[in-house]
Amino acid sequence: MPYLDSKISYCLSSKAVTNKDLANEFKETSAGAIFAKTGISTRFQAEGDVVASDLGFLAAEKLCKEHNIQKEKIDFIIFVSSCLDYKSPTTACVLQDRLGLNTNIGAIDILHGCTGFIYGLSAAKGLIATGEAEKILLITADSPTKLVHPEDLELLSIFSDGAAATLVTNQSAKASGKIGKFVFGTDGLGAKNLMSTRSGMRNPTDANWFKENKKVPSGLKWGKLEMNGSQIFIFSIRTVPKLVNTILNKENLAMEEIDLFVFHQANGVMLDFLRSKLRIPKKKFYLNIENKGNTVSATIPIALKDAFSEGLITKGCRVLVAGFGIGYSWGGTVIRY
């Protein structure tokens, strides 16, 4: 039986960026105006050449040290990110060596963003349910700020660099949760509304690109993140309520039987709108985006960790987790503790 262990650790990048910092740079706005649009006060930016896998490595090391996890017991590693190190080799393979894990383990990447934790958790559940693995290290990590143009206030206000490391096992522990059935959805027609352009093989960076962006400190060498914010908002408002209802129906649960809802921490204002539309009481709707920002694939496990630390998840709790965004993609499940 696959279980999501309460053992979760996370790492945020070293540089905190406050609304005041952004307002000092963008004179046309204010710290209050930024918060009113995003529900975020602080987000984090990775400095220098620190990328997603570096943050993932730190989160995994922290997990093993904080929870006394024996690395030799880990028999599979899943790395979920929209910011992989290379097109090849698999970043999970690089992390296996860097973390000093055994060589007789499986290692895969899942290229995904906002729904990434849901996909990683589903893959881990499948591997355990079929007996292919017993202890899986699930790392979700992203460094989206590397792709943001320094003059794009909308994206600078939202995105944050961070990573989480989660243990998924076949053993029920004191504070572990039974992973339920999954619901997924995809609509690639909306892919263009949130996309990292000039970042892959379809239309790669070239000499002209670097010439155009020579005044940008990074030269946008990793590509450029572009977002149609209004379309993303509309997509989320239309899709997430249906997703939640589908998950509840699949699990034969009523809304009031869920003890805590943990959504992808996309935008604080959007999340509050969704909570209101779904009529979820504030005490049952977890938010930690204000002081974390949107860390893409890492938001849900970071939120779960914080909810555990705050004593909001206890024995007997049913937690509905839902991811949605870039792709368009969406998915979720219920975890029973």
Q: Catalytic: which of 11, 64, 83, 114?
A: 114
Cα–Cα nearest to 6, from 169, 139, 163, 248: 169
Residues 286/303, Cβ–Cβ less than 8 Å: yes
CA distance 41 to 19: 6
Give SS3 for 244. helix
Q: 173: how many CB neighbours lie within 10 A of its CB?
A: 12
- Per the annotation, the verdict on 149 as an active-site residue is no
CB 180 within 8 A of CB 331: no
11, 19, 83, 264: which is the annotated catalytic residue? 264
Question: Residue 11 carries which side chain, given as an amino acid letter?
Answer: C
Active site residue 93: no
b (16+ CB within 10 A) / e for 72-93: eebbbbbbbbbbbbeeeebbbb
C-alpha–C-alpha distance, residues 325 and 327, integer Å: 6
CA pseudo-torsion sign 61, 64, 70, 75: negative
Contact (Cβ atoms closer than 8 angstroms) between residue 140 and residue 117: yes
294 is catalytic: yes
Q: Give me the count of residues in the chain.
A: 337
Residues 6+ apart with CB under 8 A from 201: 87
Cβ contact 183:63 at 8 Å: no
User: Which residue numbers are catalytic?
Assistant: 114, 264, 294
